[in-house]
Amino acid sequence: MKKVLVTGGAGYIGSHVVKQLGEKGYEILVIDNLSTGHKEAVLYGELQVVDLEEKDKVQKLVRDFQPDAVMHFAASIEVEESVRKPLKYYKNNTSNTINLLQILDEENINYFIFSSTAAVYGEPEKLPVKEDFPLNPINPYGQSKAFVEKILQDFNNAKKDFRYISLRYFNVAGADEKGRIGQSYKNPTHLITRALKTAKGEYEKLYIFGTDYPTPDGSCIRDFIHVDDLADAHIVALEYLFNGGESDIFNLGYGHGYSVKEVVNMAKKVTGIDFPVEEAPRRAGDPAVLIADNTKIRQKLGWKPKYDDLEYIIKTAWNWELNKRY
């Protein structure tokens, strides 16, 4: 079976991809500095605790393992922090990816899956968002990922054997159905996680930022995708490359959205807890609606999501919150 190197494989999304790779029999090496990841989240393969900044160490691991492909999740991901600490994001997300690509170039490893984000679009003028829309990120996090997408395009043009898939995530949520892995950040900013932690009493109240948007209930609308559907898309993309597919970029979302208020109401239904909610002013840079057009990945890769159900997404996240292992 083929070998896959996974950077950031001890993190929330990376660990769910590692789980699915392992279940399919791939041989896996995980590289993670454990700054936000957890060794307990790595259910398959071998974990090496190393930072991508340590280029010599990473190169030795790559040379010894000789992966057939690399899946790259290692990154800093908090939008608000990126505004305060832009250099951290350009270093971790952009510069470290260049380090990794240089290693892959030298070791002649030619298949690459990149974890990108809908933040590269900024505030799109039309909906749903298509892959050929202009990139106009409005924060350093989105910009750091957009830079990498451009680098990948240029590297691909220069190195004809190299092929990559860039996957632009919308709002990833939920957890492993069996409760083995899930989202575990020190300071989560994701709406569903914050709502569930408020239900548990970890936060005094949940804030809804902005109730005067031009949407049916005045709150923002987002495209929430279950992490297991997202992980499955990575496997589909990897196998597409292995079967001779060309480099490409795909959105990862369900193609429809839920408002913040709808998510809050569903969280109350799932938990059975009427936790406190307070309306607050809008946050800067929050578009009213952000929904993916997922036609391309469905048609070109044949991806078929299985868990397009807000109640299921929140139930798996709630099960994880109640029975967290790390």
Q: What is the C-alpha separation between 318 and 273, in angstroms, rounded?
A: 12
Helix axes 96-107, 140-158, angle to 10 degrees: 20
Q: What's the helix, strand, coil split of the chain in %, to 5?
A: 40, 20, 40
141 is catalytic: yes
Residue 129 forms beta bridges with which residues? 292
Residue 219 CB neighbour total at 10 angstroms: 22
| Cβ atoms within 10 Å of 3's Cβ, excluding its own | 16
The single residue of 12, 26, 121, 141 carrying the catalytic annotation is 141
Phi, psi of 113 (to 5 degrees): -110, 125
- E-state strands within 33-170: 46-49, 69-72, 111-117, 163-169
In whole angstroms, give the CA distance from residue 148 to residue 211. 34
By three-state DSSP, how is residue 232 classified? Answer: helix
Question: Alpha-carbon distance 320 to 177, whole Å?
Answer: 9
Total residue length of the chain:
326
Extended beta strands in the chain, E state: 3-7, 27-32, 46-49, 69-72, 111-117, 163-169, 171-173, 206-209, 221-222, 224-226, 248-252, 258-259, 277-280, 289-290
Q: Among all chains, which residue has been given the structure tokens 């800067």?
A: 284
3-state secondary structure at position 258: strand
Active site residues: 141
